[in-house]
Amino acid sequence: MPAPEFPPFEAPQRILMGPGPSDVHPRVLAAMARPTVGHLDPAFVGLMDEVKQLLQYAMRTQNQLTFPISAPGSAGMEACLVNLVEPGDGVVVCRNGVFGGRMRSIVERCGGRVIPVDDAWGAPVDPGKVEDALKANPDAKLVAFVHAETSTGALSDAKALAELAHAHGCLVVVDAVTSLGGVPLEVDAWGLDAVYSGSQKCLSCAPGLSPVSFSQRVIERVQARSTPVQSWFLDLGLVMGYWGGGAKRAYHHTAPVNAIYGLHEALRMLAEEGLEAAWARHRHHHQALAAGLEAIGLPLRVAAEHRLPQLNVVELPEGFDEAAARRRLLADYGLEVGGGLGDLAGKVWRIGLMGSACSRRNVLACLAAVDDVMRGALDGAGQGRGVAAALATYG
Ligand SMILES: *Cc1c(COP(=O)(O)O)cnc(C)c1O
């Protein structure tokens, strides 16, 4: 067989305004290109400690067990659930979009007994329904929910849900993949027990890492398990020997060294800006984008008080060929926005404003491009109304 011959891959320059990955800052890309060292090299061990401290800052936690899992957000989800769920355990799983459904499948695969709490797509998780489920299932061990549902654009009240769970003797597992860095997330103040996130959403790092944080209650629960964790790779007891081992780190797996250089730089950038300033920036640009989209005739699907600033879901006109329009956005403007997932496929667009992609430049570029591809489909399109409304919001 002849050796395949290809030119080097020329990655196109895009503006990533979908549900993730978001634009990766050149500083992060440059960090990832630094020389690879061994994953037990003293220099790397020092870097790991800094990553842990930077993540503790970003997640607002003192949890010692705070580190990135060497795999994407879904692996963080799996890590939390496989360690905390034993066969037969009752687990309240809240589902108001795609990712709650994914949690449910994992709990089932762990042999857990799913206690479903369903809310409409686009609505937050209803604490009243969670309370009813907990009252009806006094033996439940865990409550799992998605803080920021990227499939629908809705933000749930993590503090209220965690309080309810604790009042009924449950620990909480929180999906903070899209919330971390974009909206307030208070791991310690809200008492969140097992939290996982992703590198490629509001942290604006390359995809492939899942920051996680575990409370002391989680460690105790895992130590008290009567059955072994069914995943070798994600077994916290084993991973802890590497990430929690201080100077005596034991080999567990080969850490993705260069990916961690990137995360370190992305977290340094977040710390330089300041967490509160990053939250405020997401809110600020979201307001301009939302005003612009509405002026074009694209209503936001989620009620204003539950909207995620970093993920804007708009309703498309009936019968609109959205796939063709997204192809045009990509070809003519280098702009990526997300289509709908699951029940919302074909009906909505998901426009992200995550991390370094969340800027005035991108808001205005996106509104101009969307205005253009909506010409003919919406009466309000093609007249620059979106950009004008956004500029008026910026003042
Ligand atoms: C993106 C996302 C995930 C999955 O993360 P991957 O890195 O794609 O595995 C999980 N939950 C939410 C809310 C997400 O937005």
Q: Which domains does the chain have, with CATH numbers?
A: 26-271 (3.40.640.10), 275-394 (3.90.1150.10)
Q: Indicate whether residue 371 lines ligand 1 (CB < 6 A).
A: no
**Model pLDDT for residues 90-102, shown as the tens digit of each residue:** 999 999 999 999 9
Phi-psi region of 255 (alpha: psi -120 to 50; beta: other; left: phi over 0): beta
SS3 labels along 136-175 = HCCCCCEEEEECEECCCCEECCHHHHHHHHHHCCCEEEEE
Averaged pLDDT in 10-residue chunks for the chain of 395 residues: 96 97 97 96 94 98 96 98 98 97 98 98 97 98 98 98 98 98 98 98 98 96 94 90 71 94 98 98 98 97 97 96 98 98 94 97 98 95 97 97
For residue range 5-37, what is the model confidence (pLDDT) as tens digits?
A: 999 999 999 999 999 999 999 999 999 999 999
Query: What count of other Cβ atoms lies within 10 Å of the Cβ of residue 91?
Result: 26
Residue 144 bridge partners (DSSP):
93, 173
3-state secondary structure string across 30-75:
HHHCCCCCCCCCHHHHHHHHHHHHHHHHHHCCCCCEEEEECCCHHH
pTM here is 0.97
Is any atom of ligand 1 closer than 6 Å to the C-beta of 99? yes
By C-alpha distance, which of 125, 137, 202, 204 is closest to 169?
A: 137
pLDDT of 224 reads 94
pLDDT at position 26 = 97
> Does ligand 1 lie within 6 Å of residue 73's CB atom?
yes
Q: What SS3 class is residue 220?
A: helix
pLDDT at 246: 62
The answer, yes or no, to whether any atom of ligand 1 lies below 6 A from the CB of 78, is no
What pLDDT shows up at residue 247? Answer: 59
User: Which pLDDT does position 22 carry in this prediction?
Assistant: 97
Ligand 1: which of 155, 178, 350 to mutate, most ligand atoms within 8 Å of CB?
178
Closest CA to 85 of 237, 227, 234: 227
pLDDT for 74-123, tens place per residue? 999 999 999 999 999 999 999 999 999 999 999 999 999 999 999 999 99
